[in-house]
Amino acid sequence: MAIEAGRVRVVFEAVGIQQVNAQMTTLNRTLGRVSRTAIAFAALFVGRQFLSGIKTLINDLGELSLGMAEIQRTTGIAGAGLNEFREELLDLSAQMAGSIEDIQDAAIALGRAGVTSREELLAGIKISAKFGTITGQAFGEVASQFVSLSRILEHQRSLITLRRSAMRWRSQVENSFQTQGRFH
């Protein structure tokens, strides 16, 4: 009788109990060597994965620190407030479909636009993340577009206010001339 497993082939011949015992001993030794080799390869693989994970963690922490330094520079949030804000960003990253870098990019874009309130930053980041997820755009890019749009709308509001003021002024001037009889 022959048993094959991978590259290992063990042949059993029914000659006697001593031979069967000897063949079982040979099989056990062969399987022991195979299992030790498999364990060694598994340990090597796990070790490499572990080192790769540590390297990724170190890189991620470095990027997180660089991003937080830029957030501090653009928003003015510092000290304990910055630490709390970092935790809020990490929570947002876990809740939203983006990485912490995406979340930080949105915060940086909003900070560059002059948003400094943590509440306004968080609201802007959430909106940017939602629209970024829907459109497939980077969160920072979406935040910049929202800032541009809000500036355009603010400019339009200023123009409307200016036009209303001009119309009120014209109406006052016309009324003034009519009451004095000098207008027609």
What is the per-residue DSSP string for 159-179?
HHHHHHHHHHHHHHHHHHHHH
pLDDT in tens, 153-173: 777 877 788 888 888 887 887
Helices (H), strands (E): how many in the chain? 5, 2
Residue type (1 letter), 23 = Q
DSSP 98: S
Q: Could you tell me which residues are beta bridge partners of residue 5?
A: 8
Give residue 174's pLDDT: 79
What pLDDT is stored for residue 160 in this prediction? Answer: 82
pLDDT tens for 107-123 read 888 888 888 888 888 88
Number of domains present in the structure of the chain: 1
Q: What is the pLDDT of residues 60-103, one digit of tens each?
A: 556 667 788 888 888 888 888 888 988 888 888 888 777 888 88
Condensed to tens digits (0 to 9), the pLDDT of residues 121-145 reads 888 888 888 888 888 888 888 888 8
Please give the pLDDT value at position 60. Answer: 56
Residue 4 pLDDT > 60, yes or no?
A: no
Instruction: Give the per-residue pLDDT at 73.
Output: 87
Give the structural domain span for 174: 2-180
pLDDT digits (tens, 9 = 90+) for 11-59: 555 556 676 667 777 767 776 777 777 776 776 776 676 656 666 656 5
